[in-house]
Structure 1
């Protein structure tokens, strides 16, 4: 995968204290992918970030082994069961929610119709095992991770996170596809930190935004050491019209401290051309909540409007206008008080 961006943003806040930024290119990002068929019904995926915003040097993002048949035990072993089951084991992203299917994973940006990911970007790479059932459109997933992005044998962090998903996905007819899923995530108090919204080591997709927030701006991390989260995702595609929605809630697992966030998102696209090579559309995304019961409300909203052109199945160019604003009493007295940024973004993507 390879992605190159040209960014033309302006930003401001109530004190006009944010750094001035000007139109220019961002550091190109690149991934190296290995998808290896190890045996019939057994394959391996491995992804290395060759260059990313947060790390200019190459490092392994993660990988997993997927098992669709148990023929390595004996030919035809539990074949009726494995016709509807899939097992994944690895140290990689896990299947919570549907937003991670439409996000940019560093340079793997071809599945994201826009440039940025969602404000609360539920994505992490952790040791996990999950079992999925896929049967006549019915989806069920159950999995577990140790809740850690960076691994350690220290006895101070023995947490575990459980997650799951249920849903239905069906191509009703040639013109209509519908999908609806609901996901949950719960990490235990044995953990010292939680990476559900802070697990993307590649960095944010919009550069130089909001002084002092580093490579991960402008996304939002709840900061809870352990938490419970739910995400509901409807998807409808009728001919060239496409809708994807997000309703998500995350609450602090420490009831004595409290705090919760709610995320809303809606995408509407129209795909057209001989092979739906072109699309136009928009996305609305908002997050509202409190880091603790004692802290004021934090509000962030973003609007994306743009389109794309698939030159081939593997080459995509996108152009979007984005506007993001900050509000709520939580921002008072900080660099985010009255803060906003907006402008145009051009991205070229190659994936193979």
Structure 2
């Protein structure tokens, strides 16, 4: 494992060196892409711009590194039993560094108005070996058909096709994606982490601050031609508004839906195979970092007939910003007759200050409640306080206090009366 991590890090450093060599002559910024550094904070969909700077194929090799120091404690009153009738206890955890993670990104301008993105996880909590997360081709102009073809339409339209991170909700724009943690003011993602990568296409419409998106996927996380009748296509849609009211005030409000009528296993809340940031919390004795990679998260187990709605308000006034999440997910497991519903609420308040807003402090409250299989109700709450410092636009450090509690779980569930809390420190490099 250490050899893999060291090799991955060396490759990224070498590639970065080649990129840095030519930076004075060639800017690394590409049309219609989100900035991979501090400038990407509070960017959502990449800026739509048909005034291209294309003068030939251009490749930007980038990536990210992240490492955390974890000092968390956990406890439980749950008493699950093993096959021998012995009580299962929580694994003992201490204070130390977590496994470093690394990403490798290729962003390519292939033609005037056509670009490509590919992300590879060089090392992650669940996969210490490199593997491809996904990628897409993005079309903002149709000049490859004929110069000026449908330019009046394409000035407001974008098409994305690929095995890619699907644009459900706005929370995924602020989440940590393995080593890409520079957009997240906190260390962890939401308790119910609505994120998935599926093969499909999304069509966007941008007009005077209004945003519309309609997409369809094949409903599969793991691609293959087997079990052809087990999965129906998934539909994703988003509608919203995002604009500056004046020089100091920006307002964004979006609503999104994800729906799949039939799936072998809907992965909306379990698709992130990189892993949670809170290592081994609320895990039983014998758990491993790689095998028990979802620590601290919650998957409601809504595998079939899943419909999820997410509403996200975002307001930024000078250095003060608010980001909210309301989410409702309804579905069931294959053996269940009736559907169940889970709700998620989250509110973040961040204050950015200093030179170019390179410092920030903030807090987040996250609450999930709903009905478990078996007909009983549970809830999970989390409170975070964080502070961060952008040493440069590519380097940041953040410190977080987290407190998460579980309520309503069965006495035989390890999460019954569960709690974890403590300090997380994280260093991030992104370019």
Alignment of 1:308-327 (within 5 A): 308-327=388-407
Other-structure match for 2:93: 21
Q: Distance in 1 between matches of 2:231 and 2:310?
A: 25
Secondary structure class of the residue paired with 2:168: coil
Q: 1:256 aligns with which of 322, 333, 337?
A: 337
Q: 157-166 vs 262-271, which deviates more?
A: 157-166
Secondary structure class of the residue paired with 2:293: helix
Other-structure match for 1:344: 423
Structure 1 residues 104, 39: CA separation in 2 closer, same or farther (over 3 Å shift)?
same
Other-structure match for 1:306: 386
Runs of 4 or more, structure 1, over 4 Å off, are none
Other-structure match for 1:42: 114
Other-structure match for 1:241: 320
Confirm or deny that 1:215 pairs with 2:293.
Answer: yes
8 Å Cα contact 2:78-2:412 kept in structure 1: no
CA shift for structure 1 position 253: 5.6
Q: Distance in 1 between matches of 2:234 and 2:67?
A: 35
Other-structure match for 1:126: 198
**Greater Rg, structure 1 or structure 2?**
2
8 Å Cα contact 1:228-1:253 kept in structure 2: no
Structure 1 residues 102, 331: CA separation in 2 closer, same or farther (over 3 Å shift)?
farther
Other-structure match for 1:268: 349
8 Å Cα contact 2:139-2:160 kept in structure 1: yes
CA shift for structure 1 position 15: 5.5
Other-structure match for 2:413: 334
Alignment of 1:43-82 (within 5 A): 43-82=115-154
Secondary structure class of the residue paired with 1:215: coil
Other-structure match for 2:245: 172
Confirm or deny that 1:288 pairs with 2:369.
Answer: yes
Structure 1 residues 158, 208: CA separation in 2 closer, same or farther (over 3 Å shift)?
closer
Q: 75-84 vs 17-26, which deviates more?
A: 17-26
| TM-score normalised over the length of structure 2 | 0.79
Confirm or deny that 1:203 pairs with 2:275.
Answer: yes
Q: Distance in 2 between matches of 1:130 and 1:253?
A: 26
Alignment of 1:216-231 (within 5 A): 216-226=294-304, 227-231=306-310
Other-structure match for 2:254: 181
Other-structure match for 2:180: 108
8 Å Cα contact 2:241-2:254 kept in structure 1: yes
Q: Distance in 2 between matches of 1:225 and 1:143?
A: 20
| TM-score normalised over the length of structure 1 | 0.97
Q: Distance in 2 between matches of 1:25 and 1:105?
A: 19
Q: 263-272 vs 224-233, which deviates more?
A: 224-233
Q: 209-218 vs 49-58, which deviates more?
A: 209-218
CA shift for structure 1 position 295: 2.4
CA shift for structure 1 position 338: 0.8
Structure 1 residues 87, 15: CA separation in 2 closer, same or farther (over 3 Å shift)?
closer
Q: State the superposition RMSD in angstroms.
A: 1.3
Q: Distance in 1 between matches of 2:416 and 2:293?
A: 20
8 Å Cα contact 2:142-2:154 kept in structure 1: yes
Structure 2 alignment gaps of length 5 or more: 1-63, 80-88
Confirm or deny that 1:6 pairs with 2:69.
Answer: yes
Which protein is richer in strand relative to its size? 1
Q: Deviations over 1:8-61 (max 9, x none)?
A: 001111159312211100000000000000001000000000000000000000
Structure 1 residues 206, 231: CA separation in 2 closer, same or farther (over 3 Å shift)?
same
Q: Distance in 1 between matches of 2:217 and 2:277?
A: 26
Q: Distance in 1 between matches of 2:283 and 2:312?
A: 33
Q: Distance in 2 between matches of 1:83 and 1:291?
A: 47
Q: Distance in 1 between matches of 2:237 and 2:155?
A: 20
CA shift for structure 1 position 208: 1.1
Q: Distance in 1 between matches of 2:367 and 2:302?
A: 19
